Amino acid sequence: MNPRESKRLAPAETKLIVCASHPFSEWSAKPMLAEAIGDRWPEMRVVHLPGYDTLPRELPDARIFVGASLRPEQFACAHELEWIHSTAAGVSQLMYPALRDSGVVVTNPSGIFSVPMAEHTMGMILALARNFPDAVRFQDRAKWAQQDLWDKPQHLTEVNGSLLLVVGFGSIGRELAKRADAFGMRVWGVTRSGQGDSAHAQRILPASRLHEALPHADYIVVAAPDTADTNI
């Protein structure tokens, strides 16, 4: 029997690897993640790897892999793997044929980054409307630049009453719509089906009508997943 088709094993029979290393420290898996799993299931064999150098020799008997990426040549070593949990919300880096066809379950922390992404995006919209970047540059030069700021091609404006078009109205899009609504913006969402949560959106449009909606937008945010349909 293919080990990937076997029944679920008990924790005592399971090896779990945590390996997510990135130059940006907050994208690396901290040792406390493996420690927390080990505390919850002390009979499980939990291995935390600070880097990828020793990953190939740890993979052959691993049942669970936790990390942002597992390359095809690494996956080829994982003969008993049954489950990959991505520490990144996006999983396009895992969607190569060998993994897609393997029967290995892939999960992700969907929604965990929605609030910070929505707050960051709302901050960017305000920065564009009020031209904060140039305002800070003039301030650093101790220059009173009210007229200079006004004469920029992008005039200072209010977001109140402007139209925000959110392409991809998932958890990030909905959190952004909630904040934009509080600023008095009008929100249109775009989904594949044209259906979605309209609590903070005036309209939900199908993706087939995207080009029709674009000319009406003052701000456009693309929050769609990276798939074959959206990668154009």
Residue 229, both tokens? 């349909």
> Per-domain residue ranges for the chain?
3-107, 114-222
CATH topology match: 3-107 vs 114-222: yes
Fold of 114-222: Rossmann fold (3.40.50)
Higher pLDDT, 186 or 1: 186
Helices assigned H by DSSP within the chain: 31-40, 55-58, 72-75, 97-100, 114-130, 132-140, 146-150, 171-182, 210-213
Mean pLDDT of 32-43: 96
Give helix then strand counts, H and E, for the chain.
9, 9
Higher confidence at residue 178 or residue 110?
178
Asked if 177 contacts 189 with a C-beta cutoff of 8 angstroms, the reply is: yes
Give 128-159 pLDDT, tens digit per residue.
Answer: 999 999 999 999 999 999 999 999 888 899 99
**Residue of 22 and 184 predicted with greater confidence:** 184
Asked if the model's pLDDT at residue 6 lies above 70, the reply is no
Measured distance CA(203)–CA(195) in Å, rounded: 9
Give the integer Cα–Cα distance in Å for 176 and 166: 8
pLDDT one-digit tens code per residue, 203-226? 999 999 999 999 999 999 999 877
Q: What mean pLDDT is reported for the chain?
A: 92
Distance CA 129, CA 83 (A): 45
Q: What percent of the chain has pLDDT over 90?
A: 81
Report the topology of domain 3-107.
Rossmann fold (3.40.50)
pLDDT of residue 210: 95
pLDDT, average across residues 10-30: 91
Query: Higher model confidence: residue 91 or residue 8?
Result: 91
Residue 1 — very low, low, confident or very high, per pLDDT cuts 50/70/90? Answer: very low
Residues in Cβ contact with 184 at an 8 Å cutoff, skipping those fewer than 6 apart: 159, 160, 161
Would you say how long the chain is, in residues?
Answer: 232
